[in-house]
């Protein structure tokens, strides 16, 4: 299959130059104005490709329809990618294309300490001879998930240029704020109008993921008792010290630094503390709901102990559900997974499934009734200055989507 890789690369390079990092401190959707900039660019590009019903909603969901070329009653399938990048680093990349990678270390010029090598990044060995795209060392590249966007756009362009390829109706959805766990919060599924979906938000070629963490967030607020420190004896209750005691009571063996595979974790991500008031934000992750419940119970036990030890302080612990393991729903109907595996084989790849130590927009969509596993994009070392992607792997992901559209048509009756 001859995809236009030059067009795919040009689109990707165009997208990653736009700073679209999201912010959980913003109440709006999208949470940042840069996401609107990319969404409006994509709106224009989808119109130029001749897609139908191109709609940018008030909450930043860009929807479009690739019309069916097959007369068969094929289920409507949606392809998803998110426009935001992680908040931890700047997102306006200066992308670098390292043509025909030869295995030598890649030093990133804006911060030479940020280096890619075969020793530090073993999966580069699978990309010898590929065109590797990195940022310059000071920002994210933004392959998470602008690689997914470019992959979808390339597949849509190919299918528009080859109407002889039979496929059903395909819906495209580019959404905001996945990185702050709000990606699907305001998507109207009736307006989307799909029966199944796929997120393009995975890593290594061949991945078809249908198991994710289940996720909650927690916030502990501690109100102490203020006093002048010179006359504080038996009066002051220091909220900052209590926050420290809370953090010190968290089991180290359940931290992200000490867990892997199917192990969950409790992760304090922010602590703002004054003597009078402290606030700690945490992430709770587990592949099973009973494990997630156990982590909630552990936090409640720790807080109860602090409350008993210092009854003059006020402790408020609240939990928020973020997303759930999509496996609970997809294992009841594995057709989206099996069809994707067939598409991967047709693209010359070996299908592989792993439990994602994270979540995707598909976690929320699947729980809401739209079965949505996750497909690879080729991105690596995301959320860091060393983020990179192979152009050839992105092309394989686009090819997989084209095959997937045909598989759904073939398997429909």
pLDDT band at 2 (very low <50, low <70, confident <90, very high): confident
d(CA 147, CA 67) in angstroms, rounded, equals: 23
75-134 pLDDT, tens digit each: 999 999 999 999 999 999 999 999 999 999 998 999 988 999 999 999 999 999 999 999
194-238 pLDDT, tens digit each: 999 999 999 999 999 999 999 999 999 999 999 999 999 999 999
Peptide bond into 30 cis (omega under 30): yes
**Angle formed by the axes of helices 289-309 and 239-249, nearest 10°:** 140
pLDDT on residue 254:
98
The yes-or-no answer on residue 111 being catalytic is no
**What percentage of the chain exceeds 70 in pLDDT?**
100
Q: What is the DSSP letter of 254?
A: G
pTM over 0.85: yes
- Residue 65 Cα distances to 20, 237, 399, angstroms: 24, 60, 19
- Residue 307 Cα distances to 146, 223, 300, 316, angstroms: 46, 11, 10, 10
Distance of CA 250 to the CA centre of its chain: 27
**Could you give the domains of the chain?**
5-212+325-410 (3.40.630.10), 215-323 (3.30.70.360)
d(CA 210, CA 328) in angstroms, rounded, equals: 9
Instruction: Identify the active-site residue in 145, 178, 216, 387.
Output: 178
Tokens 């729980």 correspond to 367
Tokens 């709609």 correspond to 55
Question: Which stretches of 51-137 are DSSP H helices?
Answer: none
d(CA 82, CA 173) in angstroms, rounded, equals: 8
Long-range contacts of 48-53 (CB under 8 A, 24+ apart): 49/153, 49/156, 49/157, 49/160, 50/160, 51/156, 51/160, 51/172
Q: What's the angle, vertex CA 201, arms to CA 162 and CA 149, rounded to 5? A: 45
Average of pLDDT values for 366-382?
96
pLDDT band at 359 (very low <50, low <70, confident <90, very high): confident
d(CA 365, CA 171) in angstroms, rounded, equals: 14
d(CA 282, CA 222) in angstroms, rounded, equals: 14
The pair of three-digit structure tokens given for residue 148, joined into one six-digit string: 């997914």
305-338 pLDDT, tens digit each: 999 999 999 999 999 998 999 999 999 999 999 9
Beta-bridged to residue 284, according to DSSP, are: 216, 266
pLDDT band at 300 (very low <50, low <70, confident <90, very high): very high
pLDDT band at 298 (very low <50, low <70, confident <90, very high): very high
Instruction: Identify the active-site residue in 19, 84, 177, 361.
Output: 84
Q: What's the angle, vertex CA 152, arms to CA 195 and CA 366, rounded to 5? A: 30
Which residues, including other chains, have CB under 8 Å from residue 203's CB and lie 6 or more apart?
A: 376, 377, 378, 379, 380, 382
The yes-or-no answer on residue 84 being catalytic is yes
């Amino acid at each position: 299959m001859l995809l236009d890789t030059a067009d795919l690369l040009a689109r990707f390079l165009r997208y990653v130059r736009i700073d679209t990092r999201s912010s959980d401190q913003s109440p709006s959707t999208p949470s940042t104005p840069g996401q609107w900039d990319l969404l409006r660019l994509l709106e224009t590009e989808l119109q130029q490709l001749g897609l139908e019903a191109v709609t940018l909603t008030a909450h930043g969901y860009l929807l479009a329809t690739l019309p069916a070329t097959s007369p068969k009653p094929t289920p409507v399938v949606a392809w998803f990618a998110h426009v935001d990048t992680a908040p931890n680093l700047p997102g306006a990349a200066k992308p670098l294309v390292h043509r025909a990678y030869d295995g030598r270390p890649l030093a990133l010029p804006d911060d030479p300490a940020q280096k890619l090598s075969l020793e530090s990044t073993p999966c580069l060995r699978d990309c010898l001879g590929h065109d590797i795209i990195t940022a310059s060392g000071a920002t994210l590249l933004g392959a998470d998930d602008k690689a997914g966007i470019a992959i979808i756009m390339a597949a849509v362009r190919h299918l528009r240029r080859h109407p002889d390829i039979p496929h059903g109706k395909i819906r495209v959805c580019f959404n905001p704020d996945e990185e702050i766990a709000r990606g699907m919060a305001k998507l109207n599924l009736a307006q989307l109008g799909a029966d199944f979906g796929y997120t393009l938000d995975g890593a290594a070629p061949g991945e078809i993921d249908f198991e994710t963490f289940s996720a909650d967030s927690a916030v502990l607020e501690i109100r102490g008792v203020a006093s002048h420190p010179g006359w504080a004896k038996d009066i002051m209750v220091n909220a900052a010290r209590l926050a420290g005691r809370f953090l010190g009571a968290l089991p180290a063996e359940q931290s992200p630094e000490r867990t892997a595979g199917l192990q969950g974790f409790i992760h304090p991500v922010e602590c703002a503390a004054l003597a009078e008031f402290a606030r700690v934000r945490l992430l709770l992750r587990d592949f099973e709901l009973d494990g997630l419940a156990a982590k909630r119970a552990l936090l409640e036990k720790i807080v109860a102990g602090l409350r008993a030890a210092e009854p003059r302080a006020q402790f408020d612990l609240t939990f928020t559900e973020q997303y759930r393991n999509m496996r609970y729903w997809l294992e009841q109907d594995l057709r989206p997974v099996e069809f994707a595996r067939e598409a991967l084989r047709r693209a010359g790849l070996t299908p592989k499934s792993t439990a994602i130590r994270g979540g995707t927009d598909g976690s929320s969509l699947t729980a809401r009734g739209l079965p949505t596993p996750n497909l690879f994009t080729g991105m690596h070392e995301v959320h860091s200055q060393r983020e990179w992607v192979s152009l050839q792997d992105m092309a394989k992901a686009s090819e997989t989507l084209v095959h997937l559209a045909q598989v759904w048509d073939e398997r429909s009756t």
